[in-house]
């Protein structure tokens, strides 16, 4: 089951489709303090994360971008790479034939000799047997093996095959080609007797590349030999599939309800958990951001913001308030005393004057209050004590009054009560008769009294009569005569009578025996009404005027008996009115005449065409005129569209009339002058006028007319009731005929004569020449304008001058065996014929000889010949790539008789000592011919491990040994395999670290010291004056208390938290205790008192 699964995922069987991507899932958002696990797809042999982890999944709790790789080694992507399935699964430019005596042939079998008498060599089963050489190259055979494979983008693959030389002749030279591009170095196979060799090459796919055409190309074929066997072709790689996930961490909302609280009864405490954008759930499931505490209890809230929640809680306790009552407010008389008592068990007191006794002796008025405090909770009470004075009573001196003069006795005292001589209880007493009067006043519990005697004299009698209303000009005599009296009138006069001649109020004081009587009378003088109907007047016929005699409060009588304040007049006559106001009468009259209105008529509205004139006539005998343009004649000439009006006035009476005159536009039409056009030239006659209709000579009604033949053309254009017309003569000329013939293709150097001859014509070619013919010598398009009687016809022809191919195989040449030589006769679009009958643009030379080629481009041809001499190349093999450990050395040997050497570092010895990772290559030259070989030596790092020096730690102190090396595996002394080891006990710890095939180890001794034990005991509450001895004594220890003291003991005398660090052998333990010294209560009952 496991093998089946791995085969599905990793394509263990040959040429299976590779897995090219993984998905780590969507981006993740978590809350602070949480973690999330990112998991790669299961079943891969190796994993690598951006954190350095190599497990299938990682758990992270911090924000960031995390990438992960699933790593596997792909199966062989080549189908039938070992040829076990024969001639299947690949393509070849070579010919498949069991008889390999012809060059350019191959066969698949397990031995080569049966197929060619000069071949020798077998394989581990089937392999590809190839006969290369000059004959194969001459036939255009290059790629001996090709296959399309599916790959993963951006991955590195190892290309590999085994090959050997099959004949005792020149070895073949092979080259990997991927998608037509050479990859890696060209490889010359070992000599005939050196057996099979393995050729390896690394190749990296491009970004986005998912397939490739991979070929093994024969680069030789120059001369005898080049025969080889090919087997075990493989393409595989270590595939790193990467994806990434963004992890976002949302911070928890900050919630802090504060420390626990102890409150007093009646206090409120507002808990505030506000967080921007938060939602809230309190212990009672309420959801506001705050919570008002009024009772003792435990309160908690959970706040959620941005999907993350946090909580806090607080305990609230309540102490009762003390009860204090000083009693109700009191009112006392001067000299009284009272004692206020606020005594409460266990309480302290503060009175308004700062005294602290439980009682307070009051001897004066004021407000007295006390704060009573028990266990930190305070109650206040207050009482007001008033000291009221004796009421003040003063009724004044005795009085002698005039008859009827009232006297109000007032004994009012704030808060008082009253008893008068008649037992009435009002604060005042109204006197109207002579007598003795007294009152007793009580206020705030205190009484006082007062007395007064009152006598009365009689008043004189005076009467000026009732108020009067008279008319302007009347006179009235007022008489106040009384025996033995004196008089004072309003104007200061002192006679007993007063003569009145105007409106007003008149009063007199009449005094007898010191008593005065006043009387007054008001006299009103009404004015005569004012009425004025104005001067006599004339009005226009139909005009209405209103005569107005209105006055506020008046009555009216007109000549016709009507009684309104106004009178409407439309007819001639005499009009009069009598107006009465407050009993007074006035009259007026007016004469009215009526003039007739003038008569005028400008007629109905009219419409004309532009250019017409209209005479408007308003003539009326004896009249004056005013037109809308300010003119004053009796007539007006209208020439433009508009409304015309006139005022006609006779004897001051005006009549107005108006008329609208519209001048419609006359359409404009112009078909242009008579015209001659060429046949086929479009001609459109245009009579367009907006809003018009049309009538052409053929009865058509469009705004335009398309002309196709000679003739006379006319049109009538109608716009409303206005019209216009035009006529044009058109002559159509025939066009000349010209034909330069079809397009032509000729060879460079040829000439083409173009002929446009037409009788009676003129000519214009594209180059500006004007002959009837033109000689074409270069590729291009040739065109001519042929004109007869002013009409022109154009024709064009394209002449293509195809190039004669150019071929140059170069001078005769000598090359080294195996060095590629390609003769190139390339000409774009050409065909080729070489000396061997082949037809490629190029010819690969593998042997000495004379080579020739004919090149055909269209119908043109060229040829060339070259002589080639091939020199043999040296053989060099540095062996396969190697992987060794850092510190090793590898001796590379390229020794070849008679050769010179050049290594990549410039050295020239036959051998080179490799000590660092890299690719080493050497050029070996014999007789001017050079062979190159290269080998890659990888010096894998030896892991570095250092657990540090031996160490002593305190018990409980974490110690983690770290042997981390990226990409390594680990083996600790207990068989565990993590990169780190947590130490909890004394002992010797060792680790072996493996990185690939290289390893390192280290050992450390760890001693764990026990920590000292210290206990200061539980928290204590004691009374002032007590002492507490704190003891941290530990054998062999040093001590450090919070106050810096270093003794083993400490004497606590004040409230606070005491802590100590106890250190033994460098290991420290801390303990702390809180000591509370409660205060002794203070009791003060005050001094002895008498109440």
For the ranges 317-321, 457-461, 859-863, the lowest mean pLDDT is seen at 859-863
The residues near 749 (Cβ < 8 Å, ≥ 6 apart) are 801, 804
Please give the sequence-ordered ranges of beta strands (E in DSSP) within 320-398, or none if there are none: 330-333, 338-341, 348-351, 359-362, 366-374, 377-388
Is 90 exceeded by the pLDDT of residue 883? no
Domain 951-1009, CATH homologous superfamily name and number: Immunoglobulins (2.60.40.10)
Query: Which single residue is written with the structure tokens 């205190």?
Result: 446
Domain 330-388, CATH homologous superfamily name and number: Immunoglobulins (2.60.40.10)
pLDDT computed for residue 3 by the predictor: 27
Q: What pTM value is reported for the model?
A: 0.37
pLDDT computed for residue 7 by the predictor: 32
- DSSP for 471-516, please give it: ETT--EEEE---TT-EEEETTS--SSEEEE-SSEEEEEEEEETTEE
* Common-topology check for domains 330-388 and 537-595: yes
3-state secondary structure at position 63? coil
pLDDT computed for residue 222 by the predictor: 55
Residue 128 bridge partners (DSSP): 108, 230
3-state secondary structure at position 256? coil
CB contact at 8 A, 121 and 112: yes
- Asked: is 744-802 a CATH 2.60.40.10 domain? The reply is yes
Q: Determine the average pLDDT of the residues in 831-837.
A: 88
User: What are the angstrom distances between the C-alpha of 662 and each of 425, 613, 629, 657, 779?
Assistant: 105, 11, 17, 17, 72
* 427-431: long-range contacts, CB 8 A cutoff, minimum separation 24: 430/406, 431/406, 431/407
Report the C-alpha gap between 709 and 215 in whole angstroms: 75
Interstrand relation of 900-903 and 918-926 (parallel, antiparallel or unpaired) = antiparallel
Take residue 7 and report the two structure tokens written for it: 């085969």
The residues near 355 (Cβ < 8 Å, ≥ 6 apart) are 349
User: Nearest to residue 202, comparing CAs of 793, 1021, 936?
Assistant: 936
Report the C-alpha gap between 424 and 426 in whole angstroms: 6
- The distance in angstroms from the start CA to the end CA of the chain is 110
At 781, give phi and psi (nearest 5°): -105, 125
Interstrand relation of 860-871 and 813-816 (parallel, antiparallel or unpaired) = parallel
Q: Determine the average pLDDT of the residues in 966-980.
A: 87
Report the C-alpha gap between 645 and 630 in whole angstroms: 10
For the ranges 333-337, 728-732, 747-751, 891-895, the lowest mean pLDDT is seen at 333-337
Please report which confidence band the pLDDT of residue 137 belongs to, taking 50, 70 and 90 as the band edges. Answer: low
Burial 447-475, CB ≥16 within 10 A → b, else e: ebebebebebeebbebebeeeeeeeeeee
Report the C-alpha gap between 38 and 60 in whole angstroms: 8
Is 90 exceeded by the pLDDT of residue 708? no
| DSSP tag of 686 | E
**Mean pLDDT over each residue of the chain, to the nearest integer:** 87
**Fold of the domain spanning 251-319:** Immunoglobulin-like (2.60.40)
CB contact at 8 A, 108 and 93: no
Percent of the chain with pLDDT over 90: 32
Report the C-alpha gap between 759 and 569 in whole angstroms: 107
At 2, give phi and psi (nearest 5°): -65, -45
pLDDT computed for residue 802 by the predictor: 79
pLDDT computed for residue 8 by the predictor: 31
Number of other residues whose CB lies within 10 A of the CB of residue 522: 13
CA angle 420, 425, 426 (to 5 degrees): 100
**Fold of the domain spanning 675-733:** Immunoglobulin-like (2.60.40)
Cα dihedral sign, 629-633-634-639: negative
pLDDT computed for residue 225 by the predictor: 59
**Considering the domain 468-526 in this protein, what is its CATH number?**
2.60.40.10
**Fold of the domain spanning 399-457:** Immunoglobulin-like (2.60.40)
Domain 813-871, CATH homologous superfamily name and number: Immunoglobulins (2.60.40.10)
Take residue 447 and report the two structure tokens written for it: 């009484």
Q: Give the range with max mean pLDDT: 143-152, 223-232, 325-334.
A: 143-152
Is 90 exceeded by the pLDDT of residue 301? yes
Q: Determine the average pLDDT of the residues in 1065-1084.
A: 83
Q: 1090 or 570: whose pLDDT is higher?
A: 570
The residues near 478 (Cβ < 8 Å, ≥ 6 apart) are 464, 465, 497, 498, 499, 500, 506, 508, 521
**HSE on the CB side for 85, CA within 13 Å?**
8
Residue 304 bridge partners (DSSP): 279, 309
The residues near 271 (Cβ < 8 Å, ≥ 6 apart) are 257, 258, 290, 291, 292, 293, 299, 301, 314
Report the C-alpha gap between 909 and 903 in whole angstroms: 8
- DSSP for 825-861, please give it: ---TT-EEEETTS---SEEEE-SSEEEEEEEEETTEE
Cα dihedral sign, 123-128-129-131: negative
pLDDT computed for residue 145 by the predictor: 96
Burial of 111 (0-12, 13-18, 19+ CB in 10 A): middle
Please report which confidence band the pLDDT of residue 84 belongs to, taking 50, 70 and 90 as the band edges. Answer: very high
* H-run or E-run covering 3: helix 2-10
The residues near 781 (Cβ < 8 Å, ≥ 6 apart) are 766, 796, 797, 798, 799
Report the C-alpha gap between 626 and 631 in whole angstroms: 6
| DSSP tag of 801 | E
**Fold of the domain spanning 537-595:** Immunoglobulin-like (2.60.40)
411 φψ region: left (φ > 0), alpha (ψ -120 to 50), beta (else): alpha
Please report which confidence band the pLDDT of residue 1083 belongs to, taking 50, 70 and 90 as the band edges. Answer: low
* H-run or E-run covering 556: strand 555-558
Take residue 143 and report the two structure tokens written for it: 């790629």
Give the start-to-end residue ranges of the domains of the chain. 1-250, 251-319, 330-388, 399-457, 468-526, 537-595, 606-664, 675-733, 744-802, 813-871, 951-1009, 1020-1077
User: What are the angstrom distances between the C-alpha of 784 and each of 587, 679, 738, 788, 789?
Assistant: 118, 19, 9, 13, 16
**HSE on the CB side for 472, CA within 13 Å?**
8
At 27, give phi and psi (nearest 5°): -60, 155
pLDDT computed for residue 828 by the predictor: 86
Q: In what order do the strands lie in the sheet with 416-420?
A: 399-402, 446-457, 435-443, 416-420
Take residue 296 and report the two structure tokens written for it: 């003792």
CB contact at 8 A, 817 and 223: yes
The residues near 243 (Cβ < 8 Å, ≥ 6 apart) are 21, 22, 23, 24, 67, 68
**Fold of the domain spanning 1-250:** Jelly Rolls (2.60.120)
What are the pLDDT digits (tens) for 538-590?
Answer: 888 888 889 888 988 889 999 999 999 899 888 889 999 898 888 888 888 99
CA angle 387, 390, 392 (to 5 degrees): 135
3-state secondary structure at position 1037? coil
User: What are the angstrom distances between the C-alpha of 551 and each of 68, 525, 554, 569?
Assistant: 111, 17, 6, 20
pLDDT computed for residue 2 by the predictor: 28
User: Nearest to residue 717, comparing CAs of 693, 690, 682, 684?
Assistant: 693
Report the C-alpha gap between 152 and 72 in whole angstroms: 12
At 9, give phi and psi (nearest 5°): -80, -45
What are the pLDDT digits (tens) for 179-214?
Answer: 999 998 999 999 888 889 999 998 999 888 999 999
Query: Which single residue is written with the structure tokens 């049309």?
Result: 694
């Amino acid at each position: 089951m496991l093998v089946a699964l791995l085969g599905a995922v990793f394509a263990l069987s040959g040429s299976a489709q590779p897995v090219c991507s993984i998905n780590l899932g969507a981006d993740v958002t978590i809350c602070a303090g949480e973690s999330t696990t990112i998991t790669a797809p299961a079943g891969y042999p190796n994993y690598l994360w951006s954190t350095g982890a190599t497990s299938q999944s990682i758990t992270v709790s911090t924000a960031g971008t995390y990438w992960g790789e699933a790593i596997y080694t792909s199966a062989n992507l080549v189908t039938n790479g070992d040829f076990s399935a024969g001639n299947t699964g690949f393509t070849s430019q070579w010919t498949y034939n069991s008889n390999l005596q012809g060059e350019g042939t191959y066969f698949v079998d397990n031995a080569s000799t049966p197929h060619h008498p000069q071949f020798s060599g077998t394989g581990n089963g089937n392999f590809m047997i190839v006969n290369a050489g000059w004959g194969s190259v001459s036939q255009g055979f290059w790629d001996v093996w090709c296959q399309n494979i599916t790959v993963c983008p951006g991955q590195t693959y190892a290309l590999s095959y085994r090959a050997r030389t099959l004949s005792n002749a020149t070895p073949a030279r092979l080259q990997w080609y991927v998608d037509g591009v050479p990859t890696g170095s060209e490889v010359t196979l070992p000599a005939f007797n050196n057996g099979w060799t393995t050729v390896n090459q690394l190749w990296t796919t491009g970004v986005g590349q998912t397939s490739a055409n991979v070929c093994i190309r024969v680069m030789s074929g120059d001369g005898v030999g080049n025969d080889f066997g090919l087997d075990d072709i493989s393409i595989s790689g270590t595939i790193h599939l990467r994806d990434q996930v963004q992890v976002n961490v949302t911070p928890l909302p900050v919630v802090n309800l504060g420390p626990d609280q102890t409150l007093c009864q009646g206090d409120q405490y507002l808990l505030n958990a506000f967080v921007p954008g938060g939602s809230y759930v309190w212990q009672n499931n309420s959801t506001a951001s705050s919570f008002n505490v009024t009772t003792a209890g435990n309160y908690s809230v959970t706040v959620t913001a941005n999907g993350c929640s946090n909580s806090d809680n607080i305990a609230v306790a309540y102490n009762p308030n003390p009860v204090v009552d000083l009693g109700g407010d009191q009112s006392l008389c001067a000299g009284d005393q009272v004692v206020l008592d606020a005594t409460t068990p266990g309480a302290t007191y503060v009175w308004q004057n700062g005294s602290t006794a439980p009682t307070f002796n009051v001897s004066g008025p004021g407000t007295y209050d006390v704060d009573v405090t028990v266990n930190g909770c305070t109650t206040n009470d207050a009482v007001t004590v008033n000291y009221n004075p004796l009421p003040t009573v003063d009724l004044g001196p005795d009085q002698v009054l005039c008859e009827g003069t009232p006297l109000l006795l007032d004994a009012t005292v704030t808060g008082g009560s009253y008893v008068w001589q008649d037992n009435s209880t009002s604060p005042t007493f109204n006197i109207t008769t002579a007598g003795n009067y007294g009152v007793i006043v009580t206020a705030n519990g205190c009484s006082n009294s007062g007395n007064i005697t009152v006598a009365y004299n009689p008043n004189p009698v005076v009467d000026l009569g009732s108020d009067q209303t008279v008319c302007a000009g009347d006179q009235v005599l007022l008489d106040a005569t009384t025996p033995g009296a004196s008089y004072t009138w309003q104007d200061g006069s002192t006679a007993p009578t007063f003569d009145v001649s105007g409106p007003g109020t008149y009063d007199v004081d009449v005094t007898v025996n010191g008593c005065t009587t006043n009387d007054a009378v008001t006299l009103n003088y009404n004015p005569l009404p004012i009425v004025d109907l104005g001067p006599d007047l004339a009005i226009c016929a139909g005009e209405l005027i209103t005569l107005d005699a209105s006055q506020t409060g008046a009555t009216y009588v007109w000549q016709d008996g009507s009684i309104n304040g106004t009178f409407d007049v439309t007819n001639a006559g005499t009009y009069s009115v009598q107006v009465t106001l407050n009993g007074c009468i006035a009259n007026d009259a007016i004469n009215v005449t009526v003039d007739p209105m003038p008569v005028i008529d400008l007629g109905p509205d009219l419409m004309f065409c532009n250019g017409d004139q209209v005479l408007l006539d308003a003539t009326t005998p004896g009249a004056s005129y005013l037109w809308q343009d300010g003119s004053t004649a009796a007539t007006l000439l209208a020439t433009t569209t508009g409304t015309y009006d006139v005022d006609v006035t006779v004897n001051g009476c005006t009549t107005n009339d108006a008329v609208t005159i519209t001048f419609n536009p006359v359409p404009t039409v112009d078909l242009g002058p008579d015209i001659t056009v060429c046949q086929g030239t479009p001609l459109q006659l245009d009579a367009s006028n907006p809003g018009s209709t049309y009538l052409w000579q053929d009865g058509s009604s469009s705004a335009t007319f398309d002309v196709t033949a000679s003739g006379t053309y006319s049109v009538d254009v109608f716009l409303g009731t206005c019209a216009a017309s035009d006529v044009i003569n058109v002559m159509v000329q025939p066009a000349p005929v010209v034909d330069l013939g079809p397009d032509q293709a000729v060879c460079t150097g040829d000439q083409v004569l173009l002929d446009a001859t037409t009788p009676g014509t003129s000519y214009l070619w594209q180059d500006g020449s004007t002959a009837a013919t033109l000689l074409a010598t270069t590729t291009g398009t040739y065109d001519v304008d042929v004109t007869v009687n002013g009409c022109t016809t154009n024709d064009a022809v394209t002449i293509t001058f195809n190039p004669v191919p150019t071929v140059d195989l170069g001078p005769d040449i000598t090359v080294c065996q195996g060095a590629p030589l390609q003769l190139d006769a390339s000409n774009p679009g050409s065909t080729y014929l070489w000396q061997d009958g082949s037809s490629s643009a190029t010819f690969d030379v593998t042997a000495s000889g004379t080579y020739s080629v004919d090149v055909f481009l269209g119908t043109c041809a060229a040829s060339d010949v070259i002589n080639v001499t091939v020199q043999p190349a040296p053989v060099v093999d540095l062996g396969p790539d190697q992987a060794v450990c850092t510190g090793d050395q590898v001796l590379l040997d390229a020794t070849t008789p008679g050769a010179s050497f050049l290594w990549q570092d410039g050295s020239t010895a036959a051998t080179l000592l490799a000590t660092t990772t890299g690719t080493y290559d050497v050029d070996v030259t014999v007789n001017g011919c050079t062979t190159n070989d290269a080998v890659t030596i990888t010096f894998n790092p030896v892991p570095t491990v250092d657990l540090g020096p031996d160490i002593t730690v305190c018990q409980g102190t974490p110690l983690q040994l770290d042997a981390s090396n990226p990409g390594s595996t680990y083996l600790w002394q207990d068989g565990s395999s993590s990169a780190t080891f947590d130490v909890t006990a004394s002992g010797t710890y060792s680790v072996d670290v493996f990185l690939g095939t290289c390893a390192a180890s280290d050992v450390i001794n760890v001693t764990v010291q026990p920590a000292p034990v210290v206990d200061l005991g539980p928290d204590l509450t004691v009374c002032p004056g007590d002492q507490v001895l704190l003891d941290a004594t530990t054998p062999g220890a040093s001590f450090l208390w919070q106050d810096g003291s270093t003794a083993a003991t400490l004497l606590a005398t004040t409230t606070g938290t005491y802590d100590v660090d106890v250190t033994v052998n460098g290991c420290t333990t801390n303990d702390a205790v809180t000591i509370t010294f409660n205060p002794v209560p203070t009791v003060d009952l005050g001094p002895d008192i008498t109440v």
